[in-house]
Amino acid sequence: MKKFFNYIKTRPVALISLLCLVLLYFVMVFAEFFAPYSPNTSFANKSYHPPNVRFYHGILQAQECRVKNSVSWEYVRVKDLYSSIKFFGKGEPYLLWGIIPAERHFFTTSVGEYPVFLMGADNLGRCLFSRIVYGSRVSLTIGFVATFISLALAGLAGGFAGFFGGITDWTIMRTAEFLMLIPTLYLILFLRSLMASNMDPGQSYMMITIILSLVGWPGSARTIRGMVHSIKREEFVLNAKLEMIPSVTIVFRHIIPQIASILIVSVALSIPGFIMTETVLSYLGLGITDPAVSWGSLIKRDLSTIANLRAFPWLLSPVWFLLFVTLGFNFVGDALRDFYDPYHTVFSRRKKKSKGQSGVLSTENANKTLLEVNDLKVDFSVLRGKELISVYAVRGLSFTMQKGEALGIVGESGSGKSVSTLAIPGLLPGNALSSGSIRYEGRELINLDTNALREYRGKKIGMIFQEPGRSYDPLQNMGSVFLETFRNSEKEITKEESSRRAAGLLEEVGLSNGMERLSNFPHQFSGGQLQRIGIALALAQGCELLIADEPTTALDLTIQKQIVELLKTLRRARNLSIIFISHDIDLVAEISDRILVMYGGLAMESASAQEIINNPRHPYTTALLAASPRFGSHYSKERLLTIPGKVSDPANPESGCPFAPRCTKATPACTQEIPKLRQESSANEQVRELRCIISYAK
């Protein structure tokens, strides 16, 4: 929560809403002190008295008024006739919280003087502000109480339904769905009609709270059920079962806390809904009644006719309070949702235009080069502490690819490998700012709109991702996945034709019985099989460039070898261009023609795979190769080398070479400025690109 308070400082509307809500609840707790009068104190001959607080001679005072017309209750102000408003002065006696006797109020006029009406008076001459303050105790607390009871019921029902499944799940969910079929207001009115109509205010409060709780739990229970059903398959839950921990303890101690963020957001968004429902019930005469007071009863009693509003507009004050509380909780709820779900949070940024016009086709090198990336820069706007900072993930990357070529990109986590390739098909999140140039067959892709990028996504540029198990909808079978993919480019394709093509693709990537496997769901495949399906989906629309973002990281060595061999076969058969990203430099060398070594968002070295493996020039490349285990090595004979230090922080990049703080050969010149990327030609006419002051001299 401390982090949340730091976060909310960057959301002015949510911060103001939270502070105002806290103030409102503080006033509610000390209602007797902040209200100048009790809610039922009536002032004779002051019906529909207008607000009378004025600044007179620089002092806040209550101006006296006289009734001009007792039929229409028109008032005129008496010039120069005021009663002094005293802060923390003595006024009408009261019992704070019904226990502590007191007579001091936050503001009031002296006993016997003209009363102060901050928001006017109602038809019986009662202070409207005092009645709103006292009424908040019902309206504001009933939202919290009903929400927590409802949430407890939802946690109990949803937790058991998701964890136990079977008949328990079926019974609870069918009950929830039945209750959700009935319009909420009708169900509330029906349940309220079953109660006695002459209940006292305390009984009415209790009954309304119970009714709202019984009506509000089904939707939350369905959400909790889905989350619990997913989490119960995690290893820590299975371990708890293995240790014979009771199921109830597992649900409420191990699983429910995992979804606490969702529950907190649900609370913030449910409270105003319950407050509004109580207001509606009170307005219809089925809620709080005299002598108790709530915002709903105030609206019912005071806004009986349009003529009243026209003549006495201050009677709308309870409506404004209700509207403010509803909006305030919604703004705070939105901030909570964005805080707990940062992937859907977008910090607004002004997009910079690239140097060239987006979408312009360049004929130069179009026939020779498939992909040309020039001075690509990508930075993210993220919240760190209280400040919105920039994270410089890519700081000027350039490379080209020919048709049919395989390019390997290696580097430690945080080097900018994945971000660079995600920028090619325009898959970066909304808080990313990219600049530079990305040309595919001569056409600029930077700043292309979504509709234009659809011509390239899938159809020309395909992607496979690191963890195949997370790349699929668990409730969608593979036939449906392929049909959805094919219809992206062929709207009229039939299900039969889609299945035929999908089966052929599965056979091509090494999955036999393709037609039969299309009815299977993701959990019915192994990790290697899912990665093969991912490759088939990438090829489904006939892509020319396949971006493989660490496709073998989550697989064992045998499956890694199979996936690499499959990609090599597909490359030959389809003349496919491949960008292969991995931490394993030896694995990258096996499939790639050229290797690009990245660190700190920059290209450190680029050369043919054999040159990189046999003759590394950059100290970082040398360190990567030294840290790679070799076949036949053993920990008892030699220690596995590691690269000392920590990876460069993209939010605070070094002024010079990013690898200099970890480099054993670094000199003071390395920290002064970023070395330029230079091209060199070897004896066999292989071009090498190098970014290192020390290596330039060799």
Q: How far apart are the first and last CA of the chain?
A: 55
Query: Sorting pLDDT into bands at 50, 70 and 90, what band is 196?
Result: low
pLDDT band of residue 631 (cuts 50, 70, 90) is low
The SS3 call for residue 463 is: strand
> pLDDT band at residue 211, thresholds of 50, 70 and 90?
confident
Q: How would you class 503 by CB atoms within 10 Å of its CB: exposed for 0-12, middle for 13-18, buried for 19 or more?
A: buried
Cα–Cα distance between 183 and 181 in angstroms, integer? Answer: 6
Q: What is the pLDDT of residues 49-77, one digit of tens each?
A: 999 999 888 889 999 999 988 888 889 99
Q: Cα–Cα distances in Å, from 503 out to 445, 497, 517, 559, 569?
A: 33, 10, 8, 21, 18
Q: Summarize pLDDT for 429-438 with one digit per residue, the tens.
A: 878 889 999 9
Q: For position 62, what pLDDT does the model report?
A: 92
SS3 of 559, please?
helix
Helix (H, G, I), strand (E, B), or coil: what is residue 654?
Answer: coil
* pLDDT averaged over every residue in the chain: 84
Q: Parallel, antiparallel, or unpaired for β 406-410 and 577-582?
A: parallel
pLDDT, one tens digit per residue, over 216-261 is 888 888 888 888 888 887 777 877 777 778 888 888 888 888 777 7
**Edge-to-edge order in the sheet of strand 53-56:** 53-56, 59-69, 74-84
CA 278 → CA 89, 145, 239, distances in Å? 35, 12, 45
Give tens-digit pLDDT for 673-682. Answer: 898 888 887 6
Best CA proximity match to 205, nearest among 124, 284, 293, 132: 293
Task: Judge whether 611 and 440 are in contact, CB under 8 Å.
Answer: no
Six-digit token pair at 294?
């709530």
CA pair distance 240, 254, nearest whole angstrom: 9
pLDDT at position 378 over 90 = yes
pLDDT > 70: percent of the chain: 91
Least confident of 189-193, 243-247, 331-335, 693-697: 693-697
0.95 exceeded by pTM: no
Spans of all domains in the chain: 52-116, 132-343
Q: Please write the tens of the pLDDT for every residue from 296-310.
A: 888 877 666 666 777
What is the pLDDT averaged over residues 475-501? 88
Token pair in block for residue 442: 């001569």
As a whole number of angstroms, the distance between CA 135 and CA 152 comes to 26
DSSP string, 484-546: HHHTTT-TT--HHHHHHHHHHHHHHTT-SSHHHHTT--GGGS-HHHHHHHHHHHHHTTT-SEE
Instruction: Tell me: pLDDT of 377 over 60.
Output: yes
Distance CA 608, CA 606 (A): 7
Reported as a pLDDT band with limits 50, 70 and 90, residue 33 is very high
Which is higher by pLDDT, 349 or 315?
315
Region of poorest pLDDT, from 196-200, 469-473, 478-482, 595-599: 196-200
What integer pLDDT is reported at residue 546 of this predicted model? 92
pLDDT of 360 = 47
Min mean pLDDT across 201-205, 425-429, 675-679 is at: 201-205
Contact 318, 299 (CB under 8 A): yes
Please say whether the beta carbons of 521 and 445 come within 8 A. no
CB 555 within 8 Å of CB 469: no
- Locate the DSSP E strands across 70-139: 74-84, 86-96, 100-108
Rounded-to-integer distance, Cα 619 and Cα 644, Å = 13
CA-CA distance, 367 to 402, in Å (whole number)?
A: 9
User: What is residue 685's predicted lDDT score, i.e. its pLDDT?
Assistant: 58
Q: Per residue in 643-690, pLDDT tens?
A: 888 888 888 888 889 999 999 888 888 888 898 888 887 656 578 899
Length of the chain: 698
* Buried-state track 433-462, b at ≥16 Cβ within 10 A, e below 16: bbbbbbbbbbbbbbbbeeeeeeebbbebbb
Neighbours of 93 (CB within 10 A): 12
Largest separation between any pair of C-alpha atoms in the chain: 108
Q: Which structure tokens are listed for 421?
A: 């390739």
Long-range contacts of 614-619 (CB under 8 A, 24+ apart): 617/688, 617/690, 617/692, 617/695, 617/698, 618/690, 618/691, 618/692, 618/695, 619/659, 619/663, 619/664, 619/665, 619/692, 619/694, 619/695
Q: Which residues contact 392 (CB under 8 A, 6 or more apart)?
A: 377, 379, 601, 650, 651, 653
Cα 421 from Cα 417, distance rounded (Å) = 7
Note whether 436 and 392 are within 8 A (CB): no
Q: Which residues contact 692 (CB under 8 A, 6 or more apart)?
A: 604, 605, 617, 618, 619, 657, 675
Strands (E), 254-317: none
pLDDT tens per residue, range 117-168: 999 998 889 999 999 999 998 888 888 888 889 888 988 899 889 888 889 9
CA dihedral 453, 456, 462, 467 (to 10 degrees): 0
Domain 132-343 has CATH 1.10.3720.10: yes
**Average pLDDT over every residue of 257-271:** 80
Evaluate the CA torsion angle 526, 528, 529, 531 in order and state its sign: positive
